[in-house]
Structure 1
Amino acid sequence: MKEVYTLIKEQFDNIGIIGRIARYEDKAEYQSHYLGLVWEYLYPLIQIAIYWLVFGVGLKHGNATDGVSYLAWMVIGYTPWFYMNRATLDASKSIYQRVGMVSKMKFPVSVLPSIKIIGNLSSFWTMMTFSIVVGLLYGVHPTVYWIQWIYYFVAMIAWLIAFGIFNSTISVLIRDYHILLQSLMRMLFYMSGVLFNFQTDAFPAPFVRILELNPFFYIISGFRQSMVGHTWFWQQTTLNLVFWGMVLFFLLVGSHLHYKFRTKFVDLI
């Protein structure tokens, strides 16, 4: 637990630096493109249009899901997924990409995954605004359940930090791990309920119970429940315990491995 405390303390002590570097990297990444930062928001909108045409219009023939338009339902789930996917993959390679630079400065390496997590938030807020607008256009009106977004946002950030410190450390120790993680995230895209509503009678109950143990599924489902559902998060005691148990597990293992090998990162790379 001491290593977890040290990790969290380093994040809060360097929150200003994390924010400044995240903003700088956002601008630097697209500075050579004609549309610049517009691509940060245009790319997910193009993806949404493709998925809607294929799954919403093509497979579902425009039928509603959970009583709302498939487009609105999908966008609400795709928004946290798009952010979590990018933040997870960016965080996993954050240390081996920059460890040579930060090793020459008095700079805690543990904040590198957090920089990627914070840096991707700009597109998340834009997508979140877009999902609300789409929802309103298709008859999804604000309810008291929308306040749960705060809880699921905090849960999402906690999961990304825990998973990020674990992935970024393993990616240094085992260079093939990042490629494996990319494949895993592609599979999880279809298994996390982004495009399909698994919580229906069409899927076997045991299969759905297994899927619900997936942290990405938990967060995506939570954002949907907040916007179009009528269930409070504390009513899912078992799923809450499983999710936070996994956050704690990856935080404990990730922080332990990080501080055990941090002095050897440059040599390993």
Structure 2
Amino acid sequence: MNTMFKIIGDQFANFKIIRRMAKYDDRATYQSHYLGLTWEFLNPLIQIGIYYLVFGVALKRGDPMPGIPYLPWMVTGIAPWLYMNKTTLDASKSVYQQVGLVSKMKFPINVLPSIKIMGNLYSFWTMMAFAVFLMFLNHIWPTISWIQFIYYFICMIALMYSLGIFNSTVSVLVRDWQIALQSVLRMLFYMSGVLFNFVTSNFPPVLVRVLEVNPFYYIINGMRESLLSKGWVWQQPNLNLTITFWLFVFIMMTIGSYLHNKFRANFVDLI
């Protein structure tokens, strides 16, 4: 428990370092490209266009929520998914890719996942701004429930770091973990309600309850309900899902912190 709180404290103590390295990391990634950082925003927009053509036009899906057109509903969900998918994979590789560099200096290795978490936020905010723009075009205006978005954003960051500290450590210990994680995320894409609302679909109630336990779904659905004014976090079944979500984050953070603290002195040798 003390290890977990120390690692969390390191994130706040090294916030300025995390922010500077996140900016540098983004620039270094696209420095040899003509469009540079523009690709951070073009790639998600292209994916949104493809998914909309397939699921919104070709398959002619109806309104997933009463009174909410498919496109703004989809974008408000796919924006956090694209961020969480990319951040989960990037954070899982953060220690493996940088441990050789930071091992030569006094540097808290546990902030490496946070650098990826912060670096990917630029494209996330752009996608959310695009989602709000689509909402305004469809006459969906801000309400008091929008304030819940702050809570779900905090949930998203907490989930990303708990998964980041766990996956980045396990990826060093088990090299196959990275490949397995990619496969799991591909499956979760269709199990997180990104492209269709399985709650209002003809899914068996038992299956719906199982799918709702997914922490990615909790954040995606929570952000949607907040921005589209369709629910409150303290209402059922959201309250039960909230308890389940934070229990999952706590368990992943505890295990990840323990493994990181136990093996960090051997990271260079293991790699």
**TM-score under structure 2 length normalisation:** 0.97
Counterpart in the other structure of 1:261? 263
| Deviations 1:221-244 (CA, angstroms, capped at 9, x unpaired) | 001100113311122221111000
CA distance in 2, matches of 1:243, 1:268: 32
Contact 1:79–1:128 (8 Å) recurs in 2: yes
For residues 229-248 of structure 1, what are the structure 2 equivalents within 5 Å?
229-235=229-235, 236-248=238-250
Q: Tell me the CA shift for residue 201 of structure 1.
A: 4.6
CA distance in 1, matches of 2:28, 2:93: 18
Aligned length: 268
CA RMSD in angstroms comes to 0.9
1:16 to 2:13 alignment: no
Q: Secondary structure at the match of 1:197?
A: coil
Counterpart in the other structure of 1:181? 181
CA distance in 1, matches of 2:136, 2:107: 45
CA distance in 2, matches of 1:243, 1:68: 26
Residue type matched to 2:258 in 1? H
1:143 to 2:132 alignment: no
Q: Secondary structure at the match of 1:100?
A: helix
Contact 1:68–1:139 (8 Å) recurs in 2: no
Counterpart in the other structure of 1:5? 5
Residue type matched to 1:20 in 2? R
Q: Percent identity?
A: 60
Q: Secondary structure at the match of 1:255?
A: helix
Q: Secondary structure at the match of 2:36?
A: coil
For residues 197-208 of structure 1, what are the structure 2 equivalents within 5 Å?
197-208=197-208
CA distance in 2, matches of 1:177, 1:222: 29
Residue type matched to 2:98 in 1? R
Counterpart in the other structure of 2:63? 64
CA distance in 2, matches of 1:149, 1:229: 11
Counterpart in the other structure of 1:108? 108
Distance 1:54 1:186, change over 3 A: same
Contact 2:143–2:229 (8 Å) recurs in 1: no
CA distance in 2, matches of 1:246, 1:212: 13
CA distance in 1, matches of 2:34, 2:53: 28
CA distance in 1, matches of 2:201, 2:10: 47
CA distance in 2, matches of 1:188, 1:139: 31
Counterpart in the other structure of 1:129? 129
Q: Secondary structure at the match of 2:122?
A: helix
CA distance in 2, matches of 1:192, 1:215: 8
Counterpart in the other structure of 2:152? 152
CA distance in 2, matches of 1:229, 1:208: 22
CA distance in 2, matches of 1:180, 1:227: 33
Counterpart in the other structure of 2:80? 80
Q: Tell me the CA shift for residue 65 of structure 1.
A: 2.2
1:29 to 2:29 alignment: yes
